[in-house]
Structure 1
Amino acid sequence: MADTETICANRECRIAQGGKCIEGHDDLAKCPFYGREPEETDDEQDDDGQDAADAFDGLHLPVGLPLDKGGADKILAMLPSRMIGVIGVHDSGKTSVIAGLYDLFQLGAVSGSTFAGSSTLQGFEFICHDARVASDRGEPHSERTKRGEVQFYHIDMLLNGMLQSLLIADRSGEEYEEVADLAANAADMFELRRADVITILVDGRRLASPSDRADVMGSIPLIIMGMVENGAFLRKPNLAIVLTKDDAVQASPRKDRVEQDFRAITDGVRDKFADYFGEFGSFVTCASPAETNVVRGKGLDELLGFWMKPTAQPKAIRIRHRNGRVFDGLAIKETNVG
């Protein structure tokens, strides 16, 4: 009997060494673990999983979700690229503009640009689904952007025989609204400092509402001012001001007033912030209409054309520092050493 190996399924039990059950059973027959082999551990299972991974000889595909800042940096380093910063308060139509542009590319070239690939295809499909018939929704819907770090949607395009990348930044509208309350909230908005084009969205539905009109017209200059105060536009990007949800505007009895208000917003921003931007452009869009009085994707081709226009490079000013030392006044002179 002494030669029989004492086994226990509880790996912490030391009955084989001390003869005492860790569960406290004097009668070992009552112990549910005694006499059974230990079960396979998670470590062993992990090893098996690692072996399976090592044996994989297929192709690992990217997840295709929106990129973080690091992923955007890689795209910027690979091809000539355009970074687009889209600023819009909550429910202003930002996600619909991004999704609408992707849907237009599936019908053919857009503003002379041909779709040539994307590393965020699954991300595009997520935001497009609820605006399609396949979603079984009664009307088009766009999922709101979650608060947190900025994410980027990526499209490669063939334009004038040259392959270029387009990165569209997507950040929660609430975070942009907070800039109007505290300018310092713009300090970490990397996408604005790097942007070639800043796109300001004006919610047409809210502008047509008597109760929301004043808030829409007043918030946009405050948001831009907060970003200007934090040096977000030192590269002097181009600026696009976009009226969204034109279907709601066209169906409104206040349509003429909305168009006047939009011109007032555009002229006011141009006059007040002309020194901080390059070229200005204004656009009327309807990316995902709930009504049938406007064509789906209206205005997005013109907006893309503006996005892809070259941005004037800022002129650098050479500053020569002098501290009064004689060496600072020396100039380089070419000499024939022979």
Structure 2
Amino acid sequence: MYQHEGPSLAVSTREGIVKEFWGDGTPTVSKSTQDDCYFEYFENQYRIACQDDHTQQICTLRNIYEIVRQCKEGKTREAIKADLSLKVDNFQKEFDTQLDNAIDLAVRLWLMIHIGKLPRAVTGQSNVVWKEGSLRATVNEQFQHQLILTDSVKFEKVFNLRNVERIADVKIQWTPNLVDHLKFNEDGKKPVLNVFHHATFLKYHENSTIYPQGLIQETLRTLALLLPSHDKSTRKWFTPHLTSLRLDAAVLACGQLKLEERQIDHFKFWHDRLVVLKQYFDDSQPRTIKQWWFDDRKRVQWFWVAIVLVVCTVLFGVIQCIEGGWQIYKAYYPSI
């Protein structure tokens, strides 16, 4: 069995992972909260894979680094698997599954996309299938421009995760699977929106060529759209999620989009998912007093409703005062 680095990877190990995965050009890694988010994911995935790696020690960091290096070179899965088999002592056919698991693990750790099977874990995440050919081809096929929906939508400042949850009553589910980013599900009792929150990881990949050109930058822009950095209400809303769910704090450092940047035409990869989410948000109607109170999308309507409430409150107050005065009067002059 493995001598795992323990519950927390050493800084030197983290630096080695970042260097092997993303090269020397990435920021210096320190043992900070931001980095802990990705490396906690790394450790969990690594630990699960090691539990099924008991016959031969194939899921080692050395092998993972080598698999990633060959993926960068554009080698096919078949070639990577053949090369990996040479590193196994007394290789036998029944070790095939372990080889596949090691390759899938390396991809999950490097790209944070759910690929392969995790027999000891139920994830509920969308799965990417990579059986043959290069990884780059599979990734490019998975992340294509989504321009099927032609509906014109506007992203007003009120459109953010805080209001999507409070006004539209949507559950925000933070996902470690990039494939599920902005995936919206209405099948359950309560609609669920998946949000990929690993902003530090995305910034590691800003100069990566394994993803389609522009995908990483656009993903960061969706985070800036839904979690605007300068919005105090959003920051206040996000803080409990950050502390209780151990999310990446860097997600609030993605900036804030200007008016011209909040146009749907600027989004290609996440275009359709944004359209679906915005349409649901626009069509949703408050079902509780609390949701109604938070809903300021129709400011003019909200203003007149507020005026009516104030008038009704004053009117009821006046009526109660008159009624109270009349009762006092009757107490002093019961014969009248």
TM-score tier after normalising by the smaller chain length: under 0.3
The structure carrying a bigger strand percent of its residues is 1
The structure carrying a bigger helix percent of its residues is 2
Question: TM-score, normalised to structure 2's length?
Answer: 0.24
Q: Computing the radius of gyration over CA atoms, which structure comes out larger, 1 or 2? A: 1
Question: TM-score, normalised to structure 1's length?
Answer: 0.24
